Amino acid sequence: MVLLQRPHILLLLIDTHQFLQCWIAFGSANEEGQQQEEFSEELLVKPLPDHKLLAHFHFQSSAPPSTSNGCHHHLFPKAISQLVQKFRVKEMELSFTQGRWNYESWGGFDPISSSNAKPPGVELWAVFDVPQHHIDASWKNLTHTLSGLFCASINFLESTATYSTPEWSFPPASGNVRYGTFPCEAVCTENLTPWLRLLPCRDKAGIALLLDRPSLYRGFYHSQRLHLTSTESSSEGIDSGIILEQTLTVVLQPNSERAIEVHASEKHVQPSWSLSSIFGKQVSGRCVLAKSSSVYLLLDWGLVAELKFPNKENGKSAANGLTSENFWSNPSFELSVNPDRIFLEESSSHSKSLSILYMFQVEKYSESEPFDIGLMWKVPVAWLCQQTPLHASRFFMGSGNERGAIAISLKSTQFTEGFMSANSKDGSCELRVDVFQVVPWYVKVYFHSLRVFVDQQPRAVSDFIEKIHVSPSKDKMSPGVMEVVLKLPCRVNTAALTIEFDKGFLRIDEYPPDANQGFDIPSAIISFPNFHASMVFLEDDSLNRSPLLSKFQEKCPVMSYTEVLLVPLTTPDFSMPYNVSTIKCTVFALYFGSLLNVLQRRVAEEERFLKAKAAKKTGRLPLLLSKLSAKLRGRRREPLHSPPSSSSFINSKLVLKVILVAGLAVGWQYFFS
């Protein structure tokens, strides 16, 4: 009995020893004052010119290095930590997007549009800290893990025919980066629920309480993004742990009935809104595990310029000297809640006006006094958001199911015109544009057919393309990749790139279930390396504690995504296999049914059945008529006989059936052989 108990005692001692080691490691980290796990939640609300509203949720979780944090996590999601340690992910970004970002109306030269405007469907890129020959295996395992974690079809990106290796045009490009996109992925609540499970309070408390599913998915644009940065496995000597950013960007349409009633005859009517009217809920306090919880209202420089001069068209001017102290009481609008702090943008090299940021702290609100900010417009106002240097669009040229061409068009914007006039000196000003495009293998692209048009005139490729890198596609092996660096003059109005292609043929088992809908070509990425989007506000201690505002101060490259193209390929008639199977099953059913009927039928029983059937058909009237006729003739009545059905007739009929079935079987076998 003592011998049986010794293994259990030994296991108990081992578990106790491991627990004490973890506890001592965590306690020593606390005593040494090292970095601890932190979580913050923030929401930024921004009015848009086309009567819509932008809501940008930002959640950030950070964990110190595993060597100093022990064996357990308190706030940081354990699944993400295991993913980083298992596959040695240095940096990763995953996005689920529904809809397309409207660069013309919603802007493209601000930190939100540059970082959170994503292509439709799923986009995934990752940088690994593993040897070069292990990257593909790590990517495959990562896609399967993320597919199960977020309940999505990310595992379709495991094949080499779906992902690519950018060289230098993609912003985080390096030798260890992999990029893949799946445009036809449908985004729904099944992807949002696992994303919310990574938050400490999920959607039960704090700002995440506003994430109402019907309100989110009826918007014009919805993008949930997960950005991961890890320095645990780097060899640079900097070991700051893991930083996980979870952002949700939504463009919604506020209820504008009240604004229409008040300003029915006015133009450029902006709808009044509140958090409760948009999301159907109010914020009843912060998440108890959050270090900071804030809500921001951002008025960009275009709107601020119009609010300073509301009657500029009539030659009238508003009150002079609007500052951060009195701007919240502007006569053009009214806030339902007084802001706790107001921040002015420090400087802006691309505009004459500055953006204004209102800060509301959620910590001082509770369930008895919930937080619900509202903005009511008093006068109509119209403005424009800041555009990208060049507006990019992509489309198909040609017709038919055999050949075609892909065209990328670049058009000058107002911002580009201002930049030209300020920086052009003797026509030596140049505008650099990086183009990154991935084309599936079944679209056979001819890279030698690349042509450049500047101001609607064909030009030599070598005059405007500084550097180019192409990777031709291989059938069922890898997609075609094109990376181009354009050097355009600053005063360019339009520019275009065209490239020809042939449509390939697929095997019948390679077609998707919705093949008649068409095949998607992922969005092309247009980036401007010489331009960086950032918003720097006046120095303040609260800015350093805000991860969202700290992110705005970082210089992120300006980039935009083109449309997803839908190319129709030659598809077979998928109803033919069904028709052939139906006819085959019908013929076999008739054959075997007739054969079994002939083999199992008994002749004597059939004769008795026919006699009984004939007797049933003989009614009383024929019987009475026969009796009456016999009496009149004075003869004896003869019994009524059933229809003649002799055994010889039945035997001949049986033989004919057997011969017919055998003939059908022989003909069927001869036809299909």
pLDDT at 663: 83
Sequence-distant (6+) residues with CB within 8 A of 342 are 324, 325, 327, 328, 356, 357, 358, 359
Lowest mean pLDDT among 96-100, 304-308, 476-480, 597-601: 597-601
DSSP state of 476: T
pLDDT band at 401 (very low <50, low <70, confident <90, very high): confident
Mean pLDDT value of segment 576-584: 84
Confidence of residue 664 (pLDDT cuts 50, 70, 90): confident
Q: How confident is the model at residue 470 (pLDDT cuts 50, 70, 90)?
A: very high
- pLDDT reported for residue 240: 67
Q: What is the distance in angstroms between the CA of the first residue and the CA of the last residue of the chain? A: 75
627, pLDDT greater than 90: no
Look at residue 245 in the predicted model and tell me its pLDDT: 96
pLDDT at 313: 42
Question: What percent of the chain is modeled with pLDDT above 90?
Answer: 45
How large is the average pLDDT for residues 125-141? 93
Confidence of residue 657 (pLDDT cuts 50, 70, 90): confident
* Mean pLDDT in residue range 581-585: 88
Residue ranges of domains in the chain: 38-258+269-309+327-377, 390-539+549-573
CA distance 642 to 150: 78
Q: How many helices (H) and strands (E) does the chain have?
A: 19, 26
Distance CA 521, CA 241 (A): 37
In the prediction, which pLDDT does 357 show? 92
Contact 556, 531 (CB under 8 A): no
Q: Give pLDDT, residue 668.
A: 78
What pLDDT, in 10s, does the model give residues 431-455?
999 999 999 999 999 999 999 999 9
Alpha-carbon span 347 to 344, nearest angstrom: 9
**Which of 22-26, 185-189, 469-473, 480-484 comes out lowest in average pLDDT?**
22-26
Strand segments (E) across 48-200 = 53-63, 89-98, 121-128, 163-164, 177-182
Residues 248-289 have pLDDT tens digits of 999 999 975 444 444 444 566 789 999 999 999 999 989 999
Arithmetic mean of pLDDT over the chain: 81
Query: Minimum mean pLDDT among 81-90, 171-180, 511-520, 601-610: which range?
Result: 601-610
Of the CATH numbers 2.60.120.10, 2.60.40.740, 1.20.200.10, 2.30.40.10, which one belongs to the domain with range 390-539+549-573?
Answer: 2.60.40.740
- Report pLDDT for 394: 96
